[in-house]
Amino acid sequence: MFGKEKIVTTTYQMQIEAMEPCKIALVSDLHDHPGDRAASILAQEQPDLILAAGDIVERCTYGESEYTKDIMNKYQGIVNDGSLRYKLSRTLLRAGEVLHKKNSVLCGGLPFLEKIAAIAPLYYGLGNHEWYFYPEDRAFFAAHNITLLDNADVYTDGVRIGGLSTRYDLDWLKAFAKKQGPKLLICHHPEYYFRHIKGTEWDTFDLIVSGHVHGGQWRIAGQGVLAPGQGFFPRYTYGVHEHKLVIGTGLSNTASVPRWGNPMEVVMIEINHTKTNY
Ligand SMILES: [Fe+2]
Ligand SMILES: [Fe+2]
């Protein structure tokens, strides 16, 4: 069940007048699994830009930084309210994590990033499994021209690209949102858009790409069943929302059971001036 499930390519066409037409790839949630199949898809697709929306590697060992699971959960708004619903969802997610660690060879993230950085410029936002990076990680990113966006933004080829980490910095986000020109936001958590951005004065992004929810693990009649941070029957697990938020289902299965009706995916977003398909 680990690494053997199907990976598909999902393509969306989006209209962003302020940007030059281009092909943007979205990848997320490899969780250090081998990424050769996804890298082959990207080599075939030849995107102009690759956005990695977090949880590509696993950097969440206690004692390696000041961060803990409790701290990360607090950012995500995950609180133990004592309910049966909370306990059941945490037990299922925890069981998945334990089995995942036991069965996985956790070393696929960096080789994957190296491969895909050779295909197109790569911008990397951080998820809840990336609490910290080691100095050697940062040296690796620099050596392979991988732009790490940890509550930070850059300007390139007429577009600004920012990354809102799980450990979010809303002051940075607000400053980024006020900058002129087309803006892309890598935001691991789709629920952060609805919690922190939608309807606010900094809802100025042309495109937001997310992962994290793994499509809701099982999809029945288009509805995901369970997602971290959203619980059972989560609302934001897949596809395009609000004409700007694209959620990918990720590149690995970290649960103790297979995914169902919910293939892993490389997402291609074709930016153009005339047509949309969502
Ligand atoms: Fe994930
Ligand atoms: Fe995540």
- Contacts of 220 by beta carbon, 8 Å cutoff, 6+ apart: 260, 261
Q: What is the pLDDT of residue 49?
A: 98
Instruction: Look at residue 2 in the predicted model and tell me its pLDDT.
Output: 43
Residue 1 lies in a domain: no
> How far is 43 from 205, CA to CA, in rounded Å?
28
Report yes or no on 190 lying in a domain: yes
The CATH number of residue 43's host domain is 3.60.21.10
| Structure tokens, 95 | 């069981």
Distance 215 CA to ligand 1 centre (A): 10
The reported pLDDT for the residue numbered 1 is 40
Residue 103 forms part of a structural domain: yes
Contact residues for 213 (Cβ-Cβ < 8 A; gap 6+): 190, 224, 227, 228, 229, 230, 234, 236, 237, 238, 247, 249
pLDDT at residue 238 above 50?
yes
Residue pLDDT, tens place only, 184-233: 999 999 999 999 999 999 999 999 999 999 998 888 888 988 888 888 88
Q: What is the pTM of this model?
A: 0.92
Asked whether residue 117 is domain-assigned, the answer is yes
Question: What separation in Å is there between the alpha carbon of 262 and the centre of ligand 1?
Answer: 14
Query: pLDDT digits over 246-259, tens only?
Result: 999 999 988 777 88
Is 264 within the bounds of a domain?
A: yes
Domain range holding 255? 7-272
Q: Per the domain annotation, does 84 fall within a domain?
A: yes
Query: Measured in angstroms, how far is the CA atom of residue 11 from the centroid of ligand 2?
Result: 22
pLDDT confidence of residue 258: 83
> Residue 142's pLDDT band (boundaries 50, 70, 90)?
very high
Instruction: Classify residue 233 by its DSSP letter.
Output: S
- Asked if residue 278 belongs to a domain, the reply is no
Number of domains in the chain: 1
CA of 63 to the centre of ligand 1 (A): 21
84 pLDDT band, cuts 50/70/90, is: low
Whether 28 shows a pLDDT value over 90: the answer reads yes
| Residue 32: per-residue pLDDT | 95
Confidence at residue 274, expressed as pLDDT on a 0 to 100 scale: 81
Q: 105: which residues sit within 8 A by CB, 6+ positions away?
A: 34
Q: Find the ligand nearest to 29 CA.
A: 1
